[in-house]
Structure 1
Amino acid sequence: MKFRKDINGLRAIAVIAVVLFHFNNTLIPGGFAGVDVFFVISGYLMTAIIFKGVEEQNFSILKFYMARANRIIPALALLCSVLTVFGWFYLTPYDYSVLGEHIRSSITFVSNIVYWKESGYFDTASHYKWLLHTWSLSSEWQFYLIYPVLIVLMRKFMEVKTIKQTILCFLVISFIASIILTYHSPHSSYFLLPARIWEMLVGGVAFLYPISLKLRYKKRCECIGFALIIGSYFLITKDNYWPGYLALFPVIGTYLIIQAKRKNSLLTGNWLFQKLGLYSYSIYLWHWPLVVAIYYFSLPSFYIYIAIPLSVLLGFLSYRYIERINFNNNLSTIFGVIKSKPMVMVVSVTLITSVICLQDGFINYAPAKYQYLIHNAQASQLREKCHLRTYQAPSSSCQYFIENNITWATLGDSHSTEIAYTLAKKIHLKDQGLKHFSYSGCKISYKMPKDFSRCAQWYNEAITYILNDKKIQNVVINHRFTKGLFGGDAAHYPNKPNALMTTKASQMVQSFDELVQLLAANKKNVYLFYPIPELPKDIKELIGIKFRNGNMPDNIIGTSREWYQARNQYMIEHFDNASYPSNVHLLKPQNTFCDNLHCYAVKDGEPLYFDDDHPSIIGATKLIESISI
């Protein structure tokens, strides 16, 4: 294709935003929208390549795949190889094992699925994932795999004009689906291709339906597009649902600039943007590991002013000495494809990282105490099976160990999962069973409408099920109350809620009290947990810090008791002053996980969590000791 300076400049506009956002999200609050700009550009270029080949009847799907592989894989394989060597010397065994898994998922282009299953893009834990940014490469690669095949198949049965119209219709359908998915499952919509494909198709439509504009209208079109992109960078934040309809701003902005076709624009054609555009892919690859390094090694914030230019330098070197290599691959036979340089790189990196994963990051070479803590900072083995992320009828909820004599139920969010499992093991000894009701991120939603929360329908149906099942006589309730009421992760000191937040919290807690009273009137016992103490970092990170310092104590402090009280003041005071019936039992995790001064991640040589806020099996076992069977 003929080189377009305006599109190259757009790449610079995108990568600048992404890099600045990742190093300091207060600089450009919506800088993550730069990825959406990349998606539109990719859709435009891929559509141009495919349709020109199809119309000239010389398009080869295999050659298309190999061209994409030659463009993407070498630079990515270099980064993965460098991180593999770096991790051997500087990461803890656990972190090295996780890195191996993430490298393997990145080089095989499924990392978006892996990260979707792990946590959200903006979660605190994301800053310890060295290849988190490769989710976008995986989404693009999945698009590359599907898109040309569909077009070639359609061409066998349709005229080109009909194919264009079909793509336009699918764009509209996929955009509507993206909006729906964004509001029902934000993690899924951020990482997975179905919510992103419309952005790439907008780029495709820009090629399929070009607009001819006069010079003065070209300038206006470009300026509007530029304003939409820059506006999205500063007016949208990570607190907005994304992509959803808000992604129209950077997407349409990119579409307009592509349609303007201004070859020598000052906005996109200046020398700096042209250079950054050329290096943009490699800059994108190298900048994120530098971001993670600052967090991982707790470096002072001024290091970002070293890391940003270093990202550009590494991007230039990768572009100059890796991206520009012309790999001459023999594609005439299957054996030739297998022997191609990109395939060799993928297989080599995959095999090496598979060994790292199989050896658990070579944890056997670590001190015995470290091995014990890591191996026991574990979640329930039934967590993935029994803990819900999307709606499922409460009647289908997990029943542990005993099928018939179900006398117990647990209700809440993800913090109740390990409690359910350990409690079920305990009551199993007395031939009693338990039914487990938990929904990820579920806040108090009793008597609330369906659109109040993502779990409101499920929550009320679960309560109805528990009330109607007369065999269930004991109910244990546990929520991450403070986050559900006011938001905010444990890594951020609790801010004082404003009047509106306090009013909503009061309404939610009032409905919760009604629920407790209702359950108490119909069941033998109701057990309520005060908020479980949270950690500033994943427990494995806290263990890793001690490991790197050559010190593995029996107690590792998570936070201060004062911090716990301040973070959860609202619910602590409420429970302290609540007037519940005598069969409602209040349980205090802070008395188990904390002393008068500190709350612990590791106490008396035992890991109490498996991440930064969920109790481990060991921690949950300690929590249920106060429940009478």
Structure 2
Amino acid sequence: MLSYRRELDGLRALAVIAVMTYHANLEVFNLQIFQGGFFGVDVFFVLSGYLITAIIRRDMEKGSFSFLSFYWRRAKRIIPVYFFVLMISLLGAYLFFDIVSWKEFSKSLKSALLFYSNNYFLIQDGYFANNERETLLHTWSLSVEWQFYLIFPLFIFLLSKIAHRYTFSIILASSLLSFVFSYTEIFVFSNYDFAFYSLSTRWWELSTGALITYINRESILEKINNNVLEVIMMTSVFILMFMMFFVDSKAPHPSFHALLVIIATSSYILFANKGELITDVFSLKPIVFLGTISYGMYLWHQPIYVFFRTLKYDQIRNEQFLLLLIITIGLSYFTFKIIETPFRRSLGNKSILASILLLFSLTYIGSNVGKLSPIPSEDISFGGSIAKHENGGNCHGQIENGIYCHFNKKAEYKIITLGDSHLGALLGSLNAYIDNNKKTSWIDLTAGGSYPFHVFWPEDHNDYKRYGIITDNIIEALNEIDLKNTTILYGQYMIGQLDHLNTTDMTKSQKKDKVVSDLQNLQKRVDRLILVYQTPLFPVKSKEMAQKTVNREFNYIQKKILYSELENKMDINKFITSKKESYEVLDRVKGDNVIRIYPENALCDDNYCYAKRKRDGIDVYDDSHASIHGAKKIFRLIEPYLP
């Protein structure tokens, strides 16, 4: 049932190269290479399910299966090099990250150490939004596998005792249920992140690998003509390559596309046979070598990419990718020889356990260390994370769940915040204002990326349904809330909303009319409508610019000087040109109770707009979102008009 197969290491090599290339975001002629490289993880899941089930069944048939022995072998295989890479990543993050990124890294590190990072990243911004900046994002799949390892042996063991005849059927049923659950979460409830990260929605991929072990592979190979086997193998690899090259992250995952990958991987495992072209190619020494160290390559590549982007360039060029690939292979081979092999084969159990505990302790303690940074936290932080709902989450975005923050509920006057993350950036300043003005209540209905009264995003966008839910909840809330004595504070990245392409129900001109009509109707229902116009859009992101600048020095005083003298500005004429269309839309909203707030009055002079001025903090930390520091300046323009 279980013997070493070189071609499976070859398949691992394909999977890890696909994942690495995808995370590098490489492009040739403006086309992303391996834009479906994330399917490499699906391949790993099938292989993992296949191999651990084969091990469990082999030991059970011999009568030598032990839970303790199984978990210990898995721990020796996975944990030592994993904890070592986490510890090195900790050192890199401490040296090169700003204070905000360090705090976020520390949280993700703790979750990775305890193998629940899939659940941690589930509540972040999503895999496809985060893959360039999250050092440990890739550990989500290891958490899923480890959770599977904890549950599946017990599952198999119980089945062997109470339903031995139906073991295959019950595993198949669990796989089908998981597949249906995954589809339901995606296409019925639009829980894309849950479907992506959860063991329950990935169970079917891992258990498909388990099912393969119940099929008599040798018998099948004897009965099928070699030419047919060649066709099956070539088709399987073609499907894998096609999915990895041409299916991008816009498609919900895991769904039908993942099913094709799982079927192709399963066929490869079942029908690979020495003497076939595909099998022999994937058994070549260089490919097998990469497969042998693929675990290390998977662990190392993401931290290497993130640190490179932090220190040097946001985008990895093709020649730089080759350099990073060589570094990754070198480190992977080093840890394979120095850590993986000795821990699996020669070190005693006491030494292994002591080493694991030492690595865990050092890394966990390190994750709790405070960081001294020349860049103040408020210069690079999003104000929308300050105001908190009673459930502990940020107020910004709660409306997606059908709830919202409401402070000082019994106050006579009311402020309602309405808009996307660009207004959300001001919520920290508004939160401080409300704390000092108990006569005013505040309701927050903001949510990132959304327009309050319509979904302008194209219907094939992953978040189309989510934005529909947000819009419905906002409209329902506004209909339920008594708008007497109410000031509405509205702000939007209008350029982005107007430029969403492929919207089937209206043209760009109709979108503009829709916005004007919606805001005009809102103006008639409230005492005051405050329109916060577009924050300047900068070509260079200040947060990343600042971090790269201070990382040139190791001396803290020199870092402080470099940061103080840093400047990020844009010609005022470029801003005037870029703002024209969005300003024209808001200018059409009329009424004596309409107040217009122009962020450029706080951020620009006669010649330039500044994301950061010399000897001052950062006002716009990315391309267009005000930092907490900058939000205070913009809020001073708003405060005189608040109740």
What TM-score, normalized to structure 2? 0.83
1:392/1:103 Cα in 2 relative to 1: closer, same or farther (>3 Å)? closer
**Which of 470, 479, 484 matches 2:492?**
479
Secondary structure, aligned partner of 1:528: strand
**Which of 150, 172, 195 matches 2:176?**
172
The answer to whether the 8 Å contact 1:30/1:234 transfers is yes
**Which of 312, 322, 327 matches 2:329?**
312
Secondary structure, aligned partner of 2:151: helix
**Which of 424, 441, 449 matches 2:449?**
441
Partners of 1:421 and 1:45 lie apart in 2 by: 51
Secondary structure, aligned partner of 1:514: helix
Partners of 1:449 and 1:327 lie apart in 2 by: 51
**Which of 248, 253, 256 matches 1:245?**
256
Deviates more, 1:562-571 or 1:194-203: 562-571
Secondary structure, aligned partner of 2:322: helix
1:94/1:501 Cα in 2 relative to 1: closer, same or farther (>3 Å)? same
The answer to whether the 8 Å contact 1:415/1:615 transfers is yes
Deviates more, 1:452-461 or 1:303-312: 452-461
Q: Does the alignment pair 1:109 with 2:115?
A: yes
1:20/1:433 Cα in 2 relative to 1: closer, same or farther (>3 Å)? same
Secondary structure, aligned partner of 1:262: coil
Match of 2:144 in 1: 139
Q: Does the alignment pair 1:229 with 2:234?
A: no
Partners of 1:420 and 1:126 lie apart in 2 by: 27
Match of 1:387 in 2: 396
1:248-274 Cα distance to aligned partner (Å, 9 max, x none): 232221111112132342242222222
1:590/1:113 Cα in 2 relative to 1: closer, same or farther (>3 Å)? farther
1:435-460 Cα distance to aligned partner (Å, 9 max, x none): 11133432454389997541323423
What TM-score, normalized to structure 1? 0.85
**Which of 451, 458, 474 matches 1:462?**
474
The answer to whether the 8 Å contact 2:97/2:310 transfers is no
The answer to whether the 8 Å contact 1:61/1:148 transfers is yes
AA at the equivalent of 1:431? K
Partners of 1:193 and 1:561 lie apart in 2 by: 51
Q: Does the alignment pair 1:185 with 2:195?
A: no
- The two structures, once aligned, show a CA RMSD in angstroms of 3.5
1:378/1:430 Cα in 2 relative to 1: closer, same or farther (>3 Å)? closer
Quote how far apart the aligned CAs of 1:560 are: 5.3
**Which of 41, 65, 77 matches 2:47?**
41
The answer to whether the 8 Å contact 1:442/1:454 transfers is no
AA at the equivalent of 1:441? G
1:355/1:567 Cα in 2 relative to 1: closer, same or farther (>3 Å)? farther
How many residue pairs match? The answer is 602
Match of 1:512 in 2: 515
Partners of 1:45 and 1:109 lie apart in 2 by: 20
Match of 1:585 in 2: 595
AA at the equivalent of 1:76? Y
AA at the equivalent of 2:14? I
The answer to whether the 8 Å contact 1:601/1:609 transfers is yes
1:559/1:15 Cα in 2 relative to 1: closer, same or farther (>3 Å)? farther
Quote how far apart the aligned CAs of 1:49 are: 2.3
**Which of 148, 161, 167 matches 2:165?**
161
Partners of 2:214 and 2:577 lie apart in 1 by: 58
Quote how far apart the aligned CAs of 1:227 are: 0.9
Q: Does the alignment pair 1:13 with 2:21?
A: no
The answer to whether the 8 Å contact 1:482/1:571 transfers is yes
AA at the equivalent of 2:495? T
Partners of 1:392 and 1:232 lie apart in 2 by: 34
Match of 1:288 in 2: 302
Quote how far apart the aligned CAs of 1:165 are: 1.7
1:558-581 Cα distance to aligned partner (Å, 9 max, x none): 6555565566554233234x2433
1:110-135 Cα distance to aligned partner (Å, 9 max, x none): 22333333333333x64333332222
The answer to whether the 8 Å contact 1:601/1:608 transfers is yes
Equivalence map 1:243-392=2 (5 Å): 243-264=254-275, 265-299=279-313, 301=317, 302-327=319-344, 341=352, 343-361=353-371, 363=372, 366=373, 370-371=375-376, 379-383=384-388, 384-388=393-397, 391-392=400-401
Segments of 5+ residues of structure 1 without an aligned counterpart are: 488-496
Quote how far apart the aligned CAs of 1:107 are: 2.8
AA at the equivalent of 2:401? Q
Secondary structure, aligned partner of 2:250: coil
Segments of 5+ residues of structure 2 without an aligned counterpart are: 27-31, 553-558
Partners of 2:378 and 2:458 lie apart in 1 by: 42
Partners of 1:434 and 1:461 lie apart in 2 by: 17
**Percent of residue pairs identical:** 25
Secondary structure, aligned partner of 1:208: coil
1:69/1:597 Cα in 2 relative to 1: closer, same or farther (>3 Å)? same
The answer to whether the 8 Å contact 1:447/1:460 transfers is no
The answer to whether the 8 Å contact 1:380/1:617 transfers is no
Match of 2:555 in 1: none
1:188/1:486 Cα in 2 relative to 1: closer, same or farther (>3 Å)? farther
The answer to whether the 8 Å contact 2:109/2:367 transfers is no
1:469/1:55 Cα in 2 relative to 1: closer, same or farther (>3 Å)? same
Partners of 1:131 and 1:380 lie apart in 2 by: 22
The answer to whether the 8 Å contact 1:182/1:241 transfers is yes
1:502-545 Cα distance to aligned partner (Å, 9 max, x none): 95544444333232122122211222222334566765434323
Q: Does the alignment pair 1:397 with 2:409?
A: no
AA at the equivalent of 2:251? N
Quote how far apart the aligned CAs of 1:35 are: 1.4
Secondary structure, aligned partner of 1:132: coil
The answer to whether the 8 Å contact 2:411/2:441 transfers is yes
Partners of 1:609 and 1:356 lie apart in 2 by: 31
The answer to whether the 8 Å contact 1:444/1:509 transfers is no
The answer to whether the 8 Å contact 2:620/2:627 transfers is yes
The answer to whether the 8 Å contact 1:445/1:455 transfers is no
Match of 2:556 in 1: none
Partners of 2:105 and 2:289 lie apart in 1 by: 31
Partners of 2:544 and 2:623 lie apart in 1 by: 9
The answer to whether the 8 Å contact 2:236/2:267 transfers is yes
1:34/1:376 Cα in 2 relative to 1: closer, same or farther (>3 Å)? closer
Q: Does the alignment pair 1:416 with 2:416?
A: no
Deviates more, 1:521-530 or 1:552-561: 552-561
The answer to whether the 8 Å contact 2:499/2:508 transfers is yes
Secondary structure, aligned partner of 1:411: strand
Partners of 1:381 and 1:269 lie apart in 2 by: 54
Q: Does the alignment pair 1:547 with 2:550?
A: yes
Partners of 2:581 and 2:515 lie apart in 1 by: 14
Quote how far apart the aligned CAs of 1:613 are: 4.9
The answer to whether the 8 Å contact 1:282/1:315 transfers is yes
Partners of 2:513 and 2:33 lie apart in 1 by: 40
The answer to whether the 8 Å contact 2:379/2:627 transfers is no
Deviates more, 1:463-472 or 1:84-93: 84-93
Deviates more, 1:53-62 or 1:212-221: 53-62
1:279/1:354 Cα in 2 relative to 1: closer, same or farther (>3 Å)? closer
AA at the equivalent of 2:88? V
Partners of 1:2 and 1:202 lie apart in 2 by: 19
1:532/1:399 Cα in 2 relative to 1: closer, same or farther (>3 Å)? same
1:135-163 Cα distance to aligned partner (Å, 9 max, x none): 2212211221222233334444x313323
Match of 1:522 in 2: 525
Partners of 1:559 and 1:118 lie apart in 2 by: 31
